[in-house]
Amino acid sequence: MSLVELIAGADGRGLAASGLACLDRCLPPPEAGGDPEPLRPLWASCESGAEWAARLDGVHAALEAAAESDAVAARVRALLGAAPRDFAAGPLRAWADACSHLALDVHRECDVPAGGTETPGRSGPADGGPLVAGELRRQALILETLAETAGTPGGGAGLRRVLDLSTEGRRVLRAVMSRRARGRGRSVSSP
């Protein structure tokens, strides 16, 4: 299935976790002393939607208070602010799709060749370089994992797997960003 089809068929749990995972990978490293996992409170709400709106508001407020000047961090904050407070597939689908686009845009900007102008393909074979291809595979694997574990006893294991996949993707992206920054004479904090 294509990424577009997986998003179209996902339930509320899958859409919330998928969107959150995309945003999690895009956040820049925290400033010194900053929270290394500012989206963590939302992960606990992805299984059933319990306290989703309250935790969403809390995480958004915390990120607004940190107010990093990074353009990607601003886009993440904007998407968190626009996230539906209703934990249902209908309202979450467009949000998860927008989060997917942001993650692919960020990976495209860091990919080799860097900064192409085409939006990565989500309906078929991967466009772009290795970062974009990896991100497309990661997003599809996350949605497939969540679909396989939906409604099963111990479905939280699927969410833990998704969190691991997202953390791995964040490390890869930050490593690429760090190498590029060193190549330009700037330093980037490590995760």
**Phi, psi torsion values for 23, nearest 5 degrees:** -65, -40
Is the pLDDT assigned to residue 126 strictly greater than 70? Answer: no
3-state secondary structure 171-191: HHHHHHHHHHHHHCCCCCCCC
**How confident is the prediction for the chain on average, in pLDDT?**
86
> How many Cβ atoms sit within 10 Å of the Cβ of residue 44?
14
Asked whether the beta carbons of 81 and 60 are under 8 A apart, the reply is: yes
pLDDT (0 to 100) of residue 191? 44
3-state secondary structure 115-171: CCCCCCCCCCCCCCCHHHHHHHHHHHHHHHHHHHHCCCCCCHHHHHHHHHHHHHHHH
From CA 83, how far away is CA 92, in angstroms rounded?
7
> How many Cβ atoms sit within 10 Å of the Cβ of residue 185?
6
**Phi, psi torsion values for 60, nearest 5 degrees:** -60, -45
Domain boundaries, given as residue ranges, for the chain: 3-183
Percent of the chain at pLDDT > 90 equals 59
Per-residue model confidence as pLDDT tens digits over 14-57? 999 999 999 999 988 887 777 888 999 999 899 889 999 999 99
